Structure 1
Amino acid sequence: MNRILSLKYAIGIVWQNALAWSILDGIILIIQSTLPILVLYLTKEVVDLVAAGFLSANKKAAFEDVLMAIAMLGAATLFTTLLTLASSLIYEAKNHKISRHIEHVLLSKSVKIDLEYYESSQYYDTLHRAQKEAPYRTGQIVSSLFKFLQSVLTLLALIGLLFSVHWMASLVLFAIAIPGFLCRLWYANQIYHWQKKQTPLERKMGYFQWLLTNGTSAKEIRLLGLGDFFIHRLMELRHTVYKEKLNLSLRHSIINMIVQSSSVLAILGSYTVVAYNTVQGNLSIGDMIMYYQALQRGQGYLQNAFQSLSLVYEDSLFLSNFYEFIDLKSKIQDPENPVAIPSPLSQGIRFERVGFQYPGNSCKTLQDIEIDIPAGQMVAFVGENGSGKTTLAKILCRLYEPMEGAVLLDGIDIRNFSLKDLRNQIGVIFQDYIQYHATARENVWFGNIGVSSQDKKILLSTRISGAHEVISGLPEQYETMLGKWFENGKELSMGQWQKIALARAFMKDSQILVLDEPNSSMDAQAEYEFFKEFRAVAKGKTAILISHRFSSVRLADYIYVLDKGRIIEQGNHEDLIAQNGKYAYLFHLQAQNYR
């Protein structure tokens, strides 16, 4: 049933994306299926005319008849070649459209899937298999079906010819082809399950290749002398995969050799029958040659038919990887009847008894979190690494759903808002921001592609974040390509990249700002300038600051201290210092470095 669904889905994709090409391909297929019979018949005519010419008194007239038959045979052969070339071009055009559609489906699914899937290695295995097989298997399964139909149509005519010689000749064709077909089905099943099992190894090999060739890891690979070590590991993995594949291919070759040997014996028997009938005078020399060729071609077309059928089966197996990925369900969905987000916020944000645990983790990341962030105020989250600070920001953005409790905006559960509307109201920069290898202008504009790439908001955002001075010093200023992946690209320091990312966060006219370690790569002067601008920009907005630097945290109106997923302290800077707890300890620990 799954195989039938795979075929039905593939035909549906071809129908939607390459219908005209497929119709044209079908017309050529019908014509191609009749041409081999015509070529066989014209070959017979040439031979018979040559044989008759030996006995003819008018050699010139006999030779003219032979030339005419040869010309017709040549025209039929040339037409067959032209149709084959046309079919190849159509196949390429059709597959391009189908592959582009499949790639679009895969990428669209990838950017919409819940973030929690990225916590699972099984997800990466599923994605890898889908990306590897689906783009070409979808078009191939339909093309294989077309080739099967073409072979069947040609076979029907060839079988008619063979049946006129002896009914056994037709049966021999099927007898010699069926074992090969079963062998191909067995191998297709074996290779599918083997490749599925090899997915983690393939991804690990890809990871080692990335480590050895990526600029991000290049410095450390060289300083630690890890190049040869990782190359050795990669080669070991390749050798393991090679041995397993070789063993599987060897088994297939042995079985295939037995099958082919049986086929040769059957073909020799059929040739004997044809030769005997010719010697007895029941067939002419031309008939004998035609039937020999018909038997040979019949064997080829029947094998092609079964091969195409086995490819349909094989492709349907591998397409199940694509469907497995497409069928992944997202927990984070838009509500059926979304409500409008209050604008402006009057009450603010509330985390109400929020609990959360990452998939695969044995302990909770957040437990019973109660946080109130009044509208228009700046609140800071403080705590050691792994205390849950960034996870709170991700839950607010609905990148994850809380397992317990809820997050409210002005008393409304954020799950009642559309995802697009909610995220448009939150300007955010995470500590693991992206360094886009694009122009400086695009790097900022990506923060809000709903406006023009020439919008004055870009300049305003870069002035707030301090990126304007950085960009102004580049060769082509805002049109300079950043990063080294593309021609004429300019690399930035970590602090400069962070200023670009901050500018991106300020591009939205959002009511809420979330800054996760916004000054981690800034020097003291840059940090001072940034927060001087930020206080002015954040006025009237609700802001969340996540930071280890207490020089910036103390600017917040209220501070929450987290430890192992729980809130252990809260208050303003002065109150927390007076409590002489965890916050005071961390503050004094950091402050002594400046004394």
Structure 2
Amino acid sequence: MIGRSPLFPLSILLPFSTTTHQRLRRLLYLQQALYLVWRSTPGWTIASVGLVIVQGGLPLVSLYLTKLIIDQITNSSVQAFGSIVLLIAIAAIVALGNNLVNGFAVYVSTAQSQAVTDYVNDLLHAKSIALDLGYYENAQYYDALHQAQQQAPYRPTTILRQLIQGGQSAISLGAIALLLLSLHWAIALALFVAVLPGLVLRLKYTRRLYRKWMEWTPQERQASYLSWMLTHESYAKEVRLFNLGPLFQHRFHHLRQDIRQDKLRLARANALGDWVVQSGTTLAVFTAWGFMGYQTLRGKITLGSLVMYFQAFQQGQTYLQQVLSSLSGLYENSLFLANFYKFLNLESAVVEPSPSLAVPVPLRNGLRFERVSFSYPHRPDPVLEEVSFQIKAGETVALVGANGAGKTSLIKLLCRLYDPDRGRILLDGIDIRQFASQEFRRQISVVFQDYVHYNLTVRENIGLGKAGEIAELDEITQAAHSAGADRVIARLPQGYDTMLGNQFAEGVDLSIGEWQKIAIARAFLHPAPIVVLDEPTSALDAEAEFEVMEQFRQLTRDRTAILISHRLSTVKLADRILVLQGGRITESGSHEELMALRGTYYQMFETQAQQYRC
């Protein structure tokens, strides 16, 4: 049950360790990454592999042509100039072909990267939508999402490029190693020995970077949040009125400075080690050059062979470094991809039934809560305890109570955004956990008190209430009229095609009350048998409140309705009123019955009425 077992695997934030099991899992992540790349871009992947083979062989051809040209020049007369020109022409054609292949490889890589990035983002978005609302109550979830969003869009294509680069370099390296062995086995051995310390250094740096990156994630998110508050319209008024800008700037600078100093310390240590390794590599190059020069003076090899072997040794070092760099890069990416795949493997606590039952339509008996208890994940105190009540089909019930009494939590459970810890919720006598959640939610139309301001056109803002279907303009205008939003829309420059909000060009922002009317219109568009309004008139003036509630009375005719409001004058229209205190239902009845009871509801109503009498 949600709240009774960890929603989020803590292992995703544990320090990195190098057990055999983890090494095998990282190899699996590499395999999954390659499969992901293949699934998203099979055509481009085939093209990349073909280019690897061609690019791997061309350098050896160029080396051999260089040897032939030099030997021809040193051993021939002027009369043989024609054959020299022919060799130069062939070398030029090979070079031009190599340029063409390289240019096409860049294009293929770009196309593939864009496709894979979009595909990975689709996976992240789909997973974020599928996860329970409970995950959004967990800071660790946001850390993992931040890590996945930062790394996942480019890591799979980076792995593919590293494999391609490594494969291409390995092909060239193998050919060059055979060539150097024909000169002397020690030269080929020196080629490999000179580069190995660099691999050890890179692996050590990668492990340290990964550990630090995991530590930086919460700080990075805090810095991003501070930047958001400094730059977003939602905070602009208070930032200026309370002079919060300098405070947030100082905190942002402090967080970024800590991260920057950590990164610089890592970079300094890596630069020092890299200098030592490169110094050793340079000494190996000149030692090999000296040996080749000595062999040339003894007449063992020609001048053309000297040039060929020296270039081969230099290129061999480059190819070997690329191979080892690809291997260490694969190791690095396997570390970072672990978080991405752990994120994708998160399991929902709201489990879909298999098989599911059909949702009964129309509603005949109504809704029933049976001894429902609930607490939010990672919050020990229960929000609801042993709550039991029934709502008959076609009945309008109001929920009232102080802030934090559990009213909105009841609605979240009804919508199956969470499952109760104990007890059950029945629809026509069937536990709602036996319905497919999306099919069940289509039977409910809700306006929450924290409704969303979509920066879309008016038509789209209201039309979203009919998600998955195309809403006709007539339906949208009728919903707007029912919510009293039509007069607001009539004043907008492009009517229903006006962009709302200030995030995009030509957008028009609305007042809080006007936004609320748009949200109510969205709910009115959804022809659901169960209607829920959570503080539907909190931002409306008295006249607008009266109009909306009259429309609400019409909307809920022959429907089951739940109304949450702190304005007790609004809830008087309900057939029955439930009073919540401390997560329990303490009173139930009509307005007249509860006033006669002279209990909590009576006191709340009289307190509000007193304000109007003064």
**Structure 1 counterpart of 2:176:** 158
> Which residue identity does 1:38 align to in structure 2?
V
Range moving further from structure 2, 87-96 or 572-581: 572-581
Q: Secondary structure at the match of 1:395?
A: helix
**Structure 2 counterpart of 1:386:** 404
In the alignment, the residues of structure 1 paired with residue 146 and residue 424 of structure 2 have an alpha-carbon distance, to the nearest angstrom, of 35
In the alignment, the residues of structure 1 paired with residue 71 and residue 95 of structure 2 have an alpha-carbon distance, to the nearest angstrom, of 19
- The question of 1:136 aligning with 2:154 is answered yes
- The question of 1:334 aligning with 2:352 is answered yes
Structure 1, residues 170-224: CA drift from partner, whole Å, max 9, x if none?
A: 1111101111112111112211121111100010111011001101111111111
In the alignment, the residues of structure 2 paired with residue 437 and residue 287 of structure 1 have an alpha-carbon distance, to the nearest angstrom, of 69
> Which residue identity does 1:583 align to in structure 2?
Y
Q: Secondary structure at the match of 1:282?
A: coil
**Structure 1 counterpart of 2:231:** 213
**Structure 2 counterpart of 1:476:** 494
Q: CA deviation at 1:322?
A: 0.6
Q: Secondary structure at the match of 2:182?
A: helix
Range moving further from structure 2, 41-50 or 520-529: 41-50
Name stretches of at least 5 consecutive residues in structure 2 with no aligned partner. Answer: 1-23
- The question of 1:52 aligning with 2:75 is answered yes
Q: 1:80 aligns with which of 98, 104, 108?
A: 98
- Contact (CA 8 Å) 1:512, 1:541: kept in 2 or not? yes
In the alignment, the residues of structure 2 paired with residue 257 and residue 312 of structure 1 have an alpha-carbon distance, to the nearest angstrom, of 23
Structure 1, residues 223-248: CA drift from partner, whole Å, max 9, x if none?
A: 11111221111111111001111111
Q: CA deviation at 1:455?
A: 4.6
Range moving further from structure 2, 293-302 or 243-252: 243-252
In the alignment, the residues of structure 2 paired with residue 382 and residue 87 of structure 1 have an alpha-carbon distance, to the nearest angstrom, of 66
In the alignment, the residues of structure 2 paired with residue 160 and residue 408 of structure 1 have an alpha-carbon distance, to the nearest angstrom, of 76
> Which residue identity does 1:65 align to in structure 2?
S
- Contact (CA 8 Å) 1:152, 1:305: kept in 2 or not? yes
- The question of 1:406 aligning with 2:394 is answered no
**Structure 1 counterpart of 2:108:** 90
- The question of 1:5 aligning with 2:28 is answered yes
> Which residue identity does 2:298 align to in structure 1?
Q
- Listed as ranges, the matches of 1:413-562 within 5 Å are 413-562=431-580
Q: Secondary structure at the match of 1:165?
A: coil
Range moving further from structure 2, 425-434 or 173-182: 173-182
- Listed as ranges, the matches of 1:250-261 within 5 Å are 250-261=268-279
Q: Secondary structure at the match of 1:141?
A: helix
- Listed as ranges, the matches of 1:100-249 within 5 Å are 100-249=118-267
Q: CA deviation at 1:583?
A: 1.2
- Contact (CA 8 Å) 1:442, 1:453: kept in 2 or not? no
Q: Secondary structure at the match of 1:375?
A: coil
In the alignment, the residues of structure 1 paired with residue 154 and residue 551 of structure 2 have an alpha-carbon distance, to the nearest angstrom, of 52
Q: CA deviation at 1:337?
A: 1.9
- The question of 1:364 aligning with 2:406 is answered no
- Contact (CA 8 Å) 2:69, 2:87: kept in 1 or not? yes
Q: Secondary structure at the match of 1:371?
A: strand
> Which residue identity does 2:378 align to in structure 1?
G
**Structure 2 counterpart of 1:40:** 63
- The question of 1:21 aligning with 2:44 is answered yes
In the alignment, the residues of structure 2 paired with residue 590 and residue 484 of structure 1 have an alpha-carbon distance, to the nearest angstrom, of 36
**Structure 1 counterpart of 2:13:** none
In the alignment, the residues of structure 1 paired with residue 590 and residue 480 of structure 2 have an alpha-carbon distance, to the nearest angstrom, of 30
Structure 1, residues 29-70: CA drift from partner, whole Å, max 9, x if none?
A: 1111111111111111222222224xx2xx2x2333332222
Range moving further from structure 2, 204-213 or 460-469: 460-469
Q: Secondary structure at the match of 1:135?
A: coil
Please give the root-mean-square deviation of Cα atoms over the aligned residues, in Å. Answer: 1.2
- Contact (CA 8 Å) 1:109, 1:326: kept in 2 or not? yes
**Structure 1 counterpart of 2:7:** none
Q: Secondary structure at the match of 2:195?
A: helix
Q: Secondary structure at the match of 2:153?
A: helix
Q: CA deviation at 1:591?
A: 0.9
Q: Secondary structure at the match of 1:506?
A: helix
Q: Secondary structure at the match of 1:447?
A: helix
Q: 1:272 aligns with which of 263, 269, 290?
A: 290
Q: Secondary structure at the match of 1:353?
A: strand
In the alignment, the residues of structure 2 paired with residue 401 and residue 348 of structure 1 have an alpha-carbon distance, to the nearest angstrom, of 19
- The question of 1:313 aligning with 2:331 is answered yes
> Which residue identity does 1:585 align to in structure 2?
Q
- Listed as ranges, the matches of 1:289-304 within 5 Å are 289-304=307-322
> Which residue identity does 2:61 align to in structure 1?
L
In the alignment, the residues of structure 2 paired with residue 386 and residue 449 of structure 1 have an alpha-carbon distance, to the nearest angstrom, of 30
How many residues end up aligned between the 2 structures?
Answer: 590
> Which residue identity does 1:118 align to in structure 2?
Y
Structure 1, residues 60-83: CA drift from partner, whole Å, max 9, x if none?
A: x23333322222222211211111
In the alignment, the residues of structure 1 paired with residue 334 and residue 304 of structure 2 have an alpha-carbon distance, to the nearest angstrom, of 44
In the alignment, the residues of structure 1 paired with residue 229 and residue 291 of structure 2 have an alpha-carbon distance, to the nearest angstrom, of 65
In the alignment, the residues of structure 2 paired with residue 284 and residue 77 of structure 1 have an alpha-carbon distance, to the nearest angstrom, of 24
In the alignment, the residues of structure 2 paired with residue 313 and residue 343 of structure 1 have an alpha-carbon distance, to the nearest angstrom, of 55
- Contact (CA 8 Å) 2:459, 2:473: kept in 1 or not? no
Structure 1, residues 2-28: CA drift from partner, whole Å, max 9, x if none?
A: 121111111211221211111111111
Structure 1, residues 406-436: CA drift from partner, whole Å, max 9, x if none?
A: 0111111111111122111100010001000
Q: 1:568 aligns with which of 573, 586, 593?
A: 586
- Contact (CA 8 Å) 1:464, 1:530: kept in 2 or not? yes
Q: 2:89 aligns with which of 37, 47, 71?
A: 71
In the alignment, the residues of structure 2 paired with residue 12 and residue 470 of structure 1 have an alpha-carbon distance, to the nearest angstrom, of 52
**Structure 1 counterpart of 2:18:** none
Structure 1, residues 338-384: CA drift from partner, whole Å, max 9, x if none?
A: 22222222211111100000111121010010111111111011111
- Contact (CA 8 Å) 2:132, 2:348: kept in 1 or not? yes
Name stretches of at least 5 consecutive residues in structure 1 with no aligned partner. Answer: none
- The question of 1:581 aligning with 2:590 is answered no
